[in-house]
Amino acid sequence: MLELVVGGFFGDEGKGKVAAYLGIKDKPKLSVRTGSINAGHTVIYSGKIWKLRIIPSAFVNKSTELALAPGALTSLEVLFKEMRETETYDRLYIDSHVGIITEDEVREEKNDPHLINVIGSTGQGVGYAESKRILRKLKLAKDYKELEKFIIDVPNKILDYLDNGHNILIEGTQGHYLSLYHGEYPYVTSRNTTASGILSEAGIGPKYVDHIIITFKSYVTRVGKGPLEGELTEEDAKKLGLTEYGTVTGRLRRVAPFNVKLAREAIRINSATIVAITKLDALFKDAYRVREYEKLPAEARKWLDELEEELKTPIGLIGTGEDAYDMIDLREEVE
């Protein structure tokens, strides 16, 4: 079985939590990360917190092997730091085509007033590294001796494991509306963040996919510039308890109510089969850490039932707290 996790809004939907839960629950043989270091995935498990930018969130399952897909980008500094923090030296694979970001790309990006001031780039060098890759000037993992022992052919590893009946998890990055092709250009990221783009980065065709799990938070947040329909003032967001800060940048996230129209479009374009809703407890305080659907407050169940009807896609996962295990899993009921 191959499952893919994709973000449905502007990133920060809780993909890290969902991927960590799937790592524990579904026990994938291999978890694959696409994307780059300009977005963070927060994982909270057994009282510990990790803020990851490139290591797959399913690392919490110590039996799961990990891989960086050919389309991924990382810096050596971030990569080795997270390998130390997650203690994953002995189970991480890196495809030879992974792009390596250096201080040159970071410096160039931070000195670009258009990216920093107009677009609101995180300044991690990702955009410049991607542009150099397109121009065939970027150095790849295969060019670095210190990465030699980690390098394998990741797409073939995925396919071999699928052929042998193993579970595979692919963890996407950011969100649908930050896609270079499907977001509000130019206020987008430097890659295609949809399910099709994630599969392309992993080197896997769509016929292998069993489930595309699209993740939405119970409200919408966005970091950086660009439109945000129904945006709340900082004061109103604070009153509602919806104040958040970006994992990578530390910047205050902009907040808006859940947007059904955007969610439906993202579901269609990503051909999502299951919806994951996170931070239900932010809207319904009594839902905090509830792990059985029947024990949710009535108003929370009503909100979910009505939302599922509007989205026309089953809600299979519901996050109710910070820990990876704070999850209501309805997938067996909706499949």
Rounded distance, CA 215 to CA 145, Å?
37
Largest alpha-carbon pair distance within the chain? 58
- Catalytic pick from 41, 97, 176, 182? 41
- φ and ψ at 148, to 5 degrees? -50, -45
Active site residue 326: no
Contact in structure between 110 and 122 (CB atoms under 8 Å): no
Using CA atoms in the order 200, 201, 202, 203, what is the torsion angle rounded to 10 degrees?
A: 50
Rounded distance, CA 54 to CA 320, Å?
25
- Catalytic pick from 12, 26, 323, 326? 12
Strand partners, 31: 66, 169
Active site residue 160: no
The contacts of residue 139 (CB under 8 Å, 6+ apart) are 99, 100, 102
Tell me which residues are annotated as active site.
Answer: 12, 41
